Amino acid sequence: MNYFSSNFKLGILGGGQLGKMLLFDTRKFDIQTYVLDPSEEAPCKIACNHFFQGDLMDFETVYNFGKQVDVLTFEIELVNLEALEKLENEGKKVYPSPKTLKLIQNKGIQKNFYLEHNIPTAPAKTFKNLKKLVVEIVESKLEMPFVWKCTEFGYDGNGVKIIRSLQDVENLPNVECIAEEMVPFKNELAVIVCRNPSGEIKTYPVVEMEFHPEANQVEYVICPARIDEKVAEKARAIALEVSKKFNHVGLLAVEMFQTQDDEILVNEVAPRPHNSGHYSIEASYTSQFENHLRAILDLPLGNTDSKVAGIMVNLSGAEGFSGDVIYENIETILGWNGVTPHIYGKKQTRPFRKMGHVTIVNEDINVARKIAEDVKNTIRVISK
Amino acid sequence: MNYFSSNFKLGILGGGQLGKMLLFDTRKFDIQTYVLDPSEEAPCKIACNHFFQGDLMDFETVYNFGKQVDVLTFEIELVNLEALEKLENEGKKVYPSPKTLKLIQNKGIQKNFYLEHNIPTAPAKTFKNLKKLVVEIVESKLEMPFVWKCTEFGYDGNGVKIIRSLQDVENLPNVECIAEEMVPFKNELAVIVCRNPSGEIKTYPVVEMEFHPEANQVEYVICPARIDEKVAEKARAIALEVSKKFNHVGLLAVEMFQTQDDEILVNEVAPRPHNSGHYSIEASYTSQFENHLRAILDLPLGNTDSKVAGIMVNLSGAEGFSGDVIYENIETILGWNGVTPHIYGKKQTRPFRKMGHVTIVNEDINVARKIAEDVKNTIRVISK
């Protein structure tokens, strides 16, 4: 297959920031792209060859979009699965496969997949709805505290809640959910795995999510994780095992917990470029986006090693600001060593909206960490 | 000035590969771009916000294009200078300034600039036309061999010829030209300097052009140059001196010769991103394109140091092939460590047409050099 400056067509479902960063690599390789997104102001609207506005959850829209391309991928999991299945059944190349997506889209199914395949994970139980869960609490069959997760349509911490008392359950939606045992952990880690249809597999180094000591929010994604070499090896091996079990094509971001006694438990996976891999644009020999592209086109995978240490800070909309965005003090941080802001191209900010990220690279991870803290304390996403 | 996700408009004259690579950074920062290029199939057509088709040498076209943007830059020197001057006189920010461009566009004026400012360069004489030059040869006032260069509209080796006998002059155009003393040199070097309107200046490391031993063509651009540290320091100091004399804004690529006795002579400059700086996308903390953008927007300049050694190989159309392009064996080179092809997006190949480049990065410059040779011997730009 000739992909480069040819009539080959790559379709991408979703036109957000992940798609936007993927388009850097399709343009670098001059691969023709078709993008579908519901928003007329999607970050992918420029830099793709053909943009289509439409509902990603609508069967007809996704099916008709997919019919016209040669390979179809997605940058968001919330897409119409039935359309992907029909396209794949008709012989269209859909990567990752809807079979993989089906195992991941629903957190109950995903959790059972780990349990069935002996992949270390926190014990959990699935409930058809909230009422059934409440019954078990009342009957003392379910011990508190535990982590409640809705099985579908949750993202970025939405749809996840720690339940310490019956009161905490009160305002939750009455949907299918899981109750997961709370595991005290030292670190939240992630490993991105890429795999192409020929079966070539590579893992990126283990990254560490550093949390704010009080706010319990991820502040920094740090590569490499500042953990024991043996723990890192174990995390990479488990991520590889998960990847093999899913038999996916493309990227698989595997989020994990490092427990107090250095066990690794798989939390959840995402079958696409992932926030925890954004550092790779500046720090790695091959970025996660380029490797996703290489993988779904069955090209050889690129080197996943790092040139330098990398730290990522998310740029989210500050509380109390809504409207036309201003990146306060961005000029200041641009003056610092190894600092690269990525602005996703959303015109309007809202509290907590993901507006961009900043990567800090340095030969010395401790220097990078210091600069990252300065970045975090300096730039602010506000409105006019 | 708020550039990021705002209504600010950056105009770029020229929509070729240099512009295309600049657009990676305008998109990363979400800066709105307007591009003017004569070709409907310009590589910049996607990934800019607004594309205009038109003649870059036409006064009205360039003037009207420039009127609608806030800052105007160019990725090619062959643009209508009078239009730029009028725009600048009317208060438009044009970077680099037409004053700089005027000193560079004509090689006779550029040469005199070096001579007047005591910048080391090979001695040369300007002639109004070829006939006047021939007269001096006949009258034995001009010693052969020498290097003939037309003063305007030459690029990439066009408009340059070594004259060893009267016969060599025969088919040259009867235009303004210079005759430059032939200096035997060990190495051809280049240093890219960036400077912003506030006067912040940074130089990239010295790169070396390695020539094919027989064909006398540049085969590899190597960063850092494998030369004595003192010579490198001298080259960087001279490039800085040239930059200060031009007082330019944006990038200035300074091409130099290292003579047999380690003198540095300035050959010529380009006031824009340059082929000799393409390695910087993968190898440097801040690419030349990002630094050009930072410079013309008067933002702080990024770190010009390298993370790893970088080597660039140009991808030119192979002799004997014209038509729809095929990058033969590109899949093979993608399997090698640290190899990144950049495909410019020209659908049609022609012999010697610049179609792309490949960057090879590695911690060890000798390993990179070996892989670069393999790349050169493996990938071929042919047609269907």
Residues B345-355: tens digit of each pLDDT:
999 999 999 99
Tens of pLDDT, residues B356-384: 999 999 999 999 999 999 999 999 999 98
If pLDDT is split at 50, 70 and 90, which confidence band does A213 have? confident
- pLDDT above 80 for B215: no
Q: Which among B47, B49, B343 has CB closest to A5?
A: B343
Distance between CA atoms of residues A307 and B223, nearest Å: 16
CA nearest neighbour of B274 among B207, B347, B365: B207
Tens of pLDDT, residues B93-149: 999 999 999 999 999 999 999 999 999 999 999 999 999 999 999 998 999 999 999
Tens of pLDDT, residues A10-31: 999 999 999 999 999 999 999 9
How distant, in Å, are the alpha carbons of A30, A117, A200, A297, A329 from that of A197?
22, 22, 8, 8, 45
Contact between B219 and B313 (Cβ < 8 Å): yes
Helix (H), strand (E) at residue B211: strand B207-211
CA nearest neighbour of A186 among A211, A207, A160: A211
CA distance A215 to chain B (A): 29
A109: alpha, beta or left? (left if phi > 0; alpha if psi -120 to 50): alpha
**Preferred mutation among A334, A357, A359 to probe B, highest tally of B CBs within 10 A:** A334
If pLDDT is split at 50, 70 and 90, which confidence band does A153 have? confident
If pLDDT is split at 50, 70 and 90, which confidence band does A114 have? very high
CA distance B2 to chain A (A): 7
Asked whether residue A312 is marked as a ligand-binding residue, the answer is no
Residue A332 is given by DSSP the state H
Q: Do domains B9-94 and B123-181 have the same CATH topology?
A: no
Residues 6+ apart with CB under 8 A from B299: A331, A334, B3, B196, B293
Six-digit token string for A247? 């038999």
Q: Which CATH number fits domain B185-383: 1.10.10.410, 3.30.470.20, 3.20.20.70, 1.20.1260.10?
A: 3.30.470.20
Q: Would you state the pLDDT for residue B156?
A: 59
Task: Give me chain B's average pLDDT, please.
Answer: 95
How distant, in Å, are the alpha carbons of A15, B144, B183, B279, B311 from that of B217?
43, 22, 17, 18, 16
Contact between A108 and A133 (Cβ < 8 Å): no
The class level of CATH for A123-181 reads: alpha beta
Q: Where are the domains of chain A?
A: 9-94, 123-181, 185-383
Residues in chain A closer than 8 A to B280 (CB atoms): none
- pLDDT above 90 for A155: no
Q: Would you state the pLDDT for residue B188?
A: 96
Q: Which among A4, A20, A303 has CB closest to B338?
A: A303
Q: Which residues pair with A208 in a beta bridge?
A: A189, A222
If pLDDT is split at 50, 70 and 90, which confidence band does B157 have? low
**Preferred mutation among A44, A46, A306 to probe B, highest tally of B CBs within 10 A:** A46
Give domain B9-94's CATH architecture: 3-Layer(aba) Sandwich (3.40)
